[in-house]
Each structure stands twice: as structure tokens, then as C-alpha cells.
Structure 1
Amino acid sequence: MVIGSLQYLAFTLPDIAYAVNRLSQFMHRPTDIHWQATKRILRYLAGTASHGILLCSNSPPSLHAFSDADWAGDNDDFVSTNAYILYLGTSPIAWSSKKQKGVARSSTEAEYRAVANTASEIRWVCSLLTELGVTLPKTPVIYCDNVGATYLSANPVFHSRMKHLTLDYHFIRDNVNAGALRVCHISTHDQLADALTKPLPRQRFIELSNKIGVRKLPPS
């Protein structure tokens, strides 16, 4: 019941997305350790009750996203965790933290799957904005901190060792070739989606939460 409520709350708070996603994997057989972790989230929420995301009406109508994956981050099944944060102007409007469907054989594969997942979300948001009559001034950008995945997005040569990623590869390549999106490399230090793929030290978590846009809101 508590985890279900936290899942609903994570729709508006990206800073708890990873922790809630991780705990949701043990709902059928929870232990005392999971309950202690749940109470830690509740204490965090109690201490940040005045924090949230400020949506600005004068934010420019441009789309960009941060895409990341924690390669083989789960020590039980070695399945990677996908994450993305999508921004409309300066405001985060969508985010996700979830495990991939299978084991990735390299960090490039894990990151490329994450980029494909992010690209799918961007295309859906672009379609919605088009229906609303909103025209984007420039091509949406996906920021990825993996050089291999970034290079694969722009490389017209498809490597035989990546054949198991055929669908993701052609989906991203078609969108890049059509000018519908760009995939750019970004430093790991500036990768905001890092907070949605793995547990982080306190200082790094606070730093990324602030950069993501979760901050103390002015009184209403």
C-alpha cells in the first residue's frame, strides 16, 4: 500500500523515482530491510515537503532530454536500469526509471537501449505538441554520456556485433536522418539522469536534484 502511494507520488517527484522503482521490485516478498528503506524515503519526503518542480509559463518551447543507463547495476540478475529526464524549455515534464527487459552485453548496448527509450518518449511528446499547435524552434536533443552509444546513433555503418539491437538502431537512425532529433555526448558529471539509475552519495544526490529542478518552492 505504501509503495503504491509512493509510485503515484513519483509521477511528480523525479528525485524519488529510482528508490521507488527499486523497492517496487520486492513488493511480493518484502523484508525488514525493504521496510527500513521505505521509511527512509518517507523521512526524506517529510523533510522536503516544501520542495517540488516549478513550471515556468515563459519557458522556451524547446525539447531536450538526458538519457542514462546503469550497466548491469542489479547484482541479482545483472539487468541494467534505464532512465531519462525530458525537459520542455527549463522545466522537466517527463521522467522514467525502470529495468531493461534483458541483460545487456556491454555498456554501449545498455546506453543505446536507453537512448531508444528516450527517443520514443520524445517522439510522442512532439506528436502531442503538434496536435496542440506548438511548433518547436529547433530539433530535440538527447544527451548521452556514453561515447559508443552516441557514435552509433550518427554512424551510418551498422556493426554486425550489434545486430541484436536492430530495431532500436533503425528507430534512432531513421529519426536522426529525418532531422527529428539529435543525439549528443555529454560529460558523466553533467548527466542529470544519473540520479535515476543508481544510489548516489548524499552530496551528489542533492546536487543532481537541484540541477534536475527539484527545489524549495515559493509560498503560494
Structure 2
Amino acid sequence: MDLLHKNNIHLAKLVATPLPASPKLTLSSGTPLDDASQYRSVVGSLQYLSFTRPDISYAVNRLSQFMHRPTTEHWQAAKRILRYLVVTPTHGIYLHTSSPITIHGFSDADWAGDTDDYVSTHGYLIYNGRNPISWSSRKQKGGARSSTEAEYRVVANAAAEVRWLCSLLTELHIHLPTTHVIYCDNIGATYLCANPVFHSRMKHIALDYHFVHNQIQSNMLCVSHVSTHHQLANTLTKPLPRARFQQACIKIDVTKAPSILRGRIR
């Protein structure tokens, strides 16, 4: 709320999504700002907020890529996120106390989605039962030659996060099922996880392949295909239209705080 008042956004026109589905932001969008300090301050503050708000993670990640040379269009996009927050000041992750302790995740990649350098953006969302506990939205290092490669890279990153979380819970003496599931909406990446025959054209991602495949062979991990319509990590890789975005937020469990907390937040 301090951030909104500081930037006089609480009186601005409200929006239902943090970023519009189109047009896409680019390095050359708009004209360079004479003073970029306010843009950098706002985006830096939003980075901290995204630690508890997965619904703005993609938008904040995208705007963070223009810190070195922000333009008027980038500043308008930053203010749009603030306008979205005016509508959802009490939203956050709802943690269910009756949720079972099972680790599973969703991984997704927007293949070559950045029109400046054609590098993919990937994201994953890890759940403990019904509760989202870890998420990430970031650009991949280097370009991917195919959508399968881009998707497989994020499966490997999600698998590493799942492995770390399982290790943490084990140290806390919490018993977990032996096999954990990652849901991926790319059929090629799913088949590559299941097929022990490594295609010669995929050798450049051999490190990720062996990391994932070794966990599958030891029954620690299972990679399953999920329809794009049920892919919860979509919000972390691309801007979505209003209806799809709001539906995804409901599925992720980004909801209003209970009434007893809303009064304290205000």
C-alpha cells in the first residue's frame, strides 16, 4: 500500500491483469526515460512482492530485463502492475491446513518468446499438497533449438527444486512418498523423459537429461503430460488474456485474504 501511495497509483484507472496479452514489450518499445530512478525503484520493490505473489512473477521478471535502459513503454507497463495491485491489495497464497504432504510441480516454457533475442522464458510452480510453496519465472540461458529442448530444460530445473525441497523436508523428519510428479504440457519433452534412448540431436542438453533420467530410473520422479488448459505454470511464462489469467489465479490459489486479515492489511 505504501508503494501504491508513493507513486499516486491508488487513484488511477484499474486493470484486471498485470500485463496485456499484446503487444509484447521489446527493448526498443517507446523512448528512453530521462531519469530511470523511479522505474528501477518500483521494479525493485515489485521483485520483493513477487516472493508472495506468483500472479505478478512473470510481469516483474519481464520488466526486470529493461533495467539498464527503460523506456516510456516500460514505465507504463510498470504502472500497469501497480494498477493491478490496487484491485488485489489483499490477495495472496491461501495455505490449506488439511492438505496432504505430497510434492508435485508444473513446468512450462514459452519457446523463443522474446522477440529481441529469441531466448525462451521458463517457469515452474511446486506444490506441497494443495499449497504452492515455490515458483520461478526467468529467461533461459541461451536459445533453445526446439520447443522440446526449452521444455526439457525447465523440467530439469523443476526437478532440482523438487529434490531440494524433499531434502529439506526429510531433514525436518517429514515422511514423503517416494515418487514425485512434474506435469509438462510438451509431449516431446515427456517422451524424452520416459525414453532411455537419447537422440543424437539432443546431446547438447545431455547434463539435464541425465539428471532427470537418473531420478526417474530410481523412482524418485515421474514426468507426466498435462493439457495446456490445465498447465498452472502458464502464468509464469507469458501474459495471458483476462479470462485465462483470472482462471489460472483461482487454480493456483491466489485469493483474497480472510476478512479477519483484510482489516489489518488496510
Output the TM-score relative to the length of structure 1. 0.98
Deviations 1:51-74 (A, max 9, x none): 111112221000110000000000
Given residue 178 of structure 1, which amino acid in structure 2 is its aligned partner?
Answer: S
Contact 1:150 1:185 in 2 (8 A): yes
- The equivalent of 1:49 in structure 2 is 89
- The equivalent of 1:21 in structure 2 is 61
Deviations 1:59-92 (A, max 9, x none): 1000110000000000000000110000001000
- Cα deviation for residue 160 of structure 1 reads 0.4
Percent of aligned positions that are identical: 67
Matched residues in 2 for 1:40 and 1:203: separation? 17
- The equivalent of 2:150 in structure 1 is 110
Matched residues in 2 for 1:83 and 1:215: separation? 20
Residue correspondence of structure 1 range 104-143 to structure 2 within 5 A = 104-143=144-183
Which of 195, 198, 206 aligns to 1:158? It is 198
- Cα deviation for residue 138 of structure 1 reads 4.8
Contact 1:146 1:185 in 2 (8 A): yes
Given residue 44 of structure 1, which amino acid in structure 2 is its aligned partner?
Answer: Y
Given residue 156 of structure 2, which amino acid in structure 1 is its aligned partner?
Answer: A
- The equivalent of 2:100 in structure 1 is 60
- The equivalent of 1:99 in structure 2 is 139
- Cα deviation for residue 199 of structure 1 reads 0.9
Contact 2:178 2:220 in 1 (8 A): no
Q: Note the residue ranges of structure 2 that are not aligned, 5 or more in a row.
A: 1-40, 261-266
Pair member with larger Rg: 2
Q: Note the residue ranges of structure 1 that are not aligned, 5 or more in a row.
A: none
Matched residues in 2 for 1:68 and 1:91: separation? 19
Contact 2:137 2:237 in 1 (8 A): yes
Q: What's the RMSD between the two structures over aligned residues? A: 0.8
Given residue 47 of structure 1, which amino acid in structure 2 is its aligned partner?
Answer: V
Runs ≥4 residues deviating over 6 A: none
**Count of residues in correspondence between the two structures:** 220
Specify the SS of the correspondent of 2:104.
strand
Contact 1:62 1:138 in 2 (8 A): no
Deviations 1:34-64 (A, max 9, x none): 1100110001111101211111222100011
- The equivalent of 2:73 in structure 1 is 33
Contact 2:178 2:219 in 1 (8 A): no
- The equivalent of 2:116 in structure 1 is 76
Deviations 1:82-137 (A, max 9, x none): 10000001000000000000100000000000100100100000000000001113
Matched residues in 2 for 1:135 and 1:178: separation? 18
Output the TM-score relative to the length of structure 2. 0.82
- The equivalent of 1:208 in structure 2 is 248
